[in-house]
Each structure stands twice: as C-alpha cells, then as structure tokens.
Amino acid sequence: MIKYRDLSIKLKLISIQLFTTLFILVFFVGIYLYSQYRQFETVAFNRMSTLSEILGSNSISALLFFDNDAAEDVLKSLKTQPDILNAAVYDHDGLIFATYSLPSAKGFSFNNPVHEGRAVTNSHFVLTERIVFDNLKVGWIALRLDTKNRKAALVEALWQSFLLFIAGLILAALLSVRAQKPISDAILSLSEIAKRVRDSGDYALRLKATSQDELGLLVDTFNDMLEKIWHHEKHLEELVSERTLELEEAKTRAEESDHLKSAFLASMSHELRTPLNSIIGFTGILLQGMAGPLTDEQKKQLGMVKGSASHLLELINDVLDISKIEAGRIDIHGEAFMVDLLVVMAVSSLRPFAEKKGLVFNHTIEPNLPPLHSDKRRLEQVLLNLLNNAIKFTSEGSVQVNCYRRDDSLVIDVIDTGIGINEKDISTIFETFRQIDTGLDRVKEGSGLGLAISKKLSELLGGTLNVKSKPGDGSTFSVVLPLNLESETNED
C-alpha cells in the first residue's frame, strides 16, 4: 500500500484541500441537521399554542354554561389538523369537560392532575395551557401532536444536506486541482530538471522561475547552483586536459629517462663488470705466482683486492638484476633439467664456506623426482642466495637442504640453525636494500638485495618463496615451484 508521505506533491496538496473541505462540510451539515431538528419542535409547539388559544377561547362560553356538547363540537374542528391525535378541555377544577381523539389514537388519556406546560417524548409533543376569561382561569386545554412529520422533515433535510455536501466536494475538488497547480507545477518541474541533470550530467539545463515567492527563490537558487557546478565542471575539464598534458610530458620524460637508465645499465654492465672481471682475473694470476714470486704480505694485500673486487661485482650484478626485474626486462629461459643435480652442485660449491665455519652441511633429495621445467640459471641463483644467507647467518649448528615433491609442486627447503628473524622483520626482509639490524657487523657482507631478487625470481618462475623463522632457533626458507607435469607428459 502506498503511504501518504510517498504520494506525489500534487496528490498531497489536493488531498489536504479535500480533507479540509470534507471536515468543514461535515461540521456545517451536522449543525444544519441539528437546527432543523430543533426548529421542527419550535414550529410545532408554536402551532399547538395558537390552536389551543383559538380552541380555548371558543370553549369559554361552553365552560361558563357547562355545555359539554358545545365544547366537544369546538374540539371536533381539529379534524382539519391530522397530526393532532388527542385534545381535551378541563373545567376550572381540572376535571375532564370535553375530549377529542383521532380514531387511530382512541384510548389515550392525558395526565391527571392537569399541569400547564410542554412535554416531549420520542413520538409525541403534549401542550397544556390555561383557558383565561377576563383574567380569570376558567379551564385548561391539552393537545397531543404526532411527531412522525418530524422524521420526514429530517429525512428531507438530510437529502438536501447530502446534495449540498456532494456539490461542495465537487466544487472543492475542482478548486483544489486548480489552486494547487502553481505550487505543484513549480516543484514538479524542479524535480524533473534535477532528475534530468542527474541522468544526463548536463549542468547547462536551467529552470524558469514563475513566481516571486519561496518557490521562485528555490528555483533561482537551484539555477545558481547549476551555474556554479557548470563552471566548476568546465574548469575541471580544463584542469584535467592540462594535467593530462603534463602527465603525457612526464611520461615522455620518464620513458626517456628509462631509456637512459637502460643505456646506463648496459654501459655499467660493460664499463664496470669488464674491468672488475679483469681485476679479479689478473689478481688471480698474480696470486698464483704466474707473474713471478710474491711475498706473503703482497699475497695478503692482493687477496684483499680480489675479495673486494668480487664483492663489488656481486653487488653490481645484484643491482643489475633487480633493475632488470623491476623494469620487466629479465628473460626467463625455460628448459627441462634434473633438480637433484642442481641441488648437489649448489651444495658442493658452498660446502667449503660452511665447513670453514664448522657447520654441518647436509642435503636430502627425494628419489625419482620428475625433471623440472624452469629456468635453471635463475633457480640456481635463488638457491645459492638462500644457502649463502643460511651460512652467513649461522655461527654454529647446521645448514640443511631438503628437496622433495608436494602434490604438483617441487619444494626446496633451506633450513639453518642460525640467528633467526623477528616476526616484525619477516615482512621487510623481502624488500629491496633491506638488512635487519642484528647487532652483528655484517652489513658489508651483503647488499640487502638477495632476498628481494630471489622472491621476485621465484614468482617469475611461477612459484613462491616463503620463510618461517624464530629468533635464536633458525630459519627455514622454502622455494615452491610448479612441476608443470602436463608439459612433461606432452613432451613425452
């Protein structure tokens, strides 16, 4: 059911006017009917009073000469008044002197003793008056009137009121339809324009004010607001095209600098790595004594040169790798290879470093692993980095590598019993240039790029790199890679 508050403004205004009119009409019709009811009584008693006066004065001589028949003859004249049911004349002492009754009302007798006055019952009026001659009371006269005419009069009044009521309502409806028009039209066109603005976004639309009242003010204010929004929108459009232009320029500049960066990286790769490789190579030759014998001090100094150059080369390689990954320019070369071989090679190459620190360095490989389809060099890079870290951050205990299959994935766990990582640091260790402050003087040992590169490479290979760690207990880094068994079956 539709609620009143949801009706249109037009219907609300019409209904307000109609209900007000209805209320006024009901009120006045009620007053009219009541007055009609009262008026009937007044008119009836006035007529009865006039009749009793005439009949009384006509009965005086009959009363004075005790002539009952004459009095009854006087009363018989009431036959012309069919609503007078009974009449009676009393003598001076209040004794019945003459009576009159319509045949239908025979058997009725007036109250005894006689009292002057009026009585009203549901269906009758009774009037009793004195008969006076020369200021002396000579008798009484009583009349009884049937009030059935009152009902007929009321029904007639009701009909009249009903017709008036209907006419009033029709008139009010016509008037209210006409009278609400200026108000509802203004509000409806205001809401219509607001809807069109909302739907089309056209802020150039305007409304015409038709009056100088509050509605006119509302329309003017609405137009002002549209005007302002329209200006803002225009300004915004200009601003957007201005900013777009700036952005395009910035993009071009960024592309240029990206190009420059690539060129720089390429040249850095050549300009820095080539001489560094030469330094490492030549110091190696010198250290092997191929250019002549060296003193112990010279060997020590040259060893330091070689170490620093190797560290620098690693750093440069890391920076180049992360730059390439971030620029999306790293190439992944997928091939099928035996992962157990790769693990064995990586473990063997780092075993001397682990043993030098007195660490137990073991590995387990699940037998009959299927060949892995991935980039061998990149996976090796990840594994070496994890192993390096494990050895670097473990001063006693062990480093363990486990390689096994889990569902359709290959998992390589690198488990150490080293210093571990705080929970709050776990999310940051994979960010670039992040090194956790462990209180150890080991910052120079790394670039803070190894894990960032490893994680991104693992993801590029379609896998993940995760860590579980507890400070003091050690860490477990897990590389999980898809085995791509389908392509293996296809190739087979």
Chain-centroid distance, C-alpha 352: 66
* Least distance to ligand ADP, CB of residue 291, Å: 34
Closer residue to ligand ADP (CB): 25 or 429: 429
CA 119, 124, 127, 128 torsion: positive or negative? negative
Closer residue to ligand ADP (CB): 262 or 432: 432
* Least distance to ligand ADP, CB of residue 482, Å: 24
Closer residue to ligand ADP (CB): 262 or 476: 476
Check residue 397 for interaction with ligand ADP (CB under 6 A). Answer: no
Closer residue to ligand ADP (CB): 156 or 431: 431
Among 13, 226, 415, 451, binds ligand ADP (CB under 6 A): 451
Check residue 399 for interaction with ligand ADP (CB under 6 A). Answer: no
Distances (CA, A) of 482 to 171, 208, 248, 409, 430: 86, 70, 40, 4, 21
Check residue 429 for interaction with ligand ADP (CB under 6 A). Answer: yes
Q: Which residue is nearest to ligand ADP (CB)?
A: 446
Stretch that binds ligand ADP, among 3-11, 55-63, 274-282, 447-455 (CB under 6 A): 447-455
Check residue 389 for interaction with ligand ADP (CB under 6 A). Answer: yes
Check residue 390 for interaction with ligand ADP (CB under 6 A). Answer: yes
Site string for ligand ADP, 245-284 (x = CB under 6 A): ----------------------------------------
* Least distance to ligand ADP, CB of residue 459, Å: 15
Closer residue to ligand ADP (CB): 237 or 326: 326
Closer residue to ligand ADP (CB): 40 or 477: 477
Closer residue to ligand ADP (CB): 342 or 452: 452
Among 393, 400, 403, 412, binds ligand ADP (CB under 6 A): 393
Closer residue to ligand ADP (CB): 311 or 405: 311
Among 15, 223, 398, 435, binds ligand ADP (CB under 6 A): 435
Binding site for ligand ADP (CB under 6 A): 389-390, 393, 416, 418-421, 429, 434-436, 438, 446-452, 475
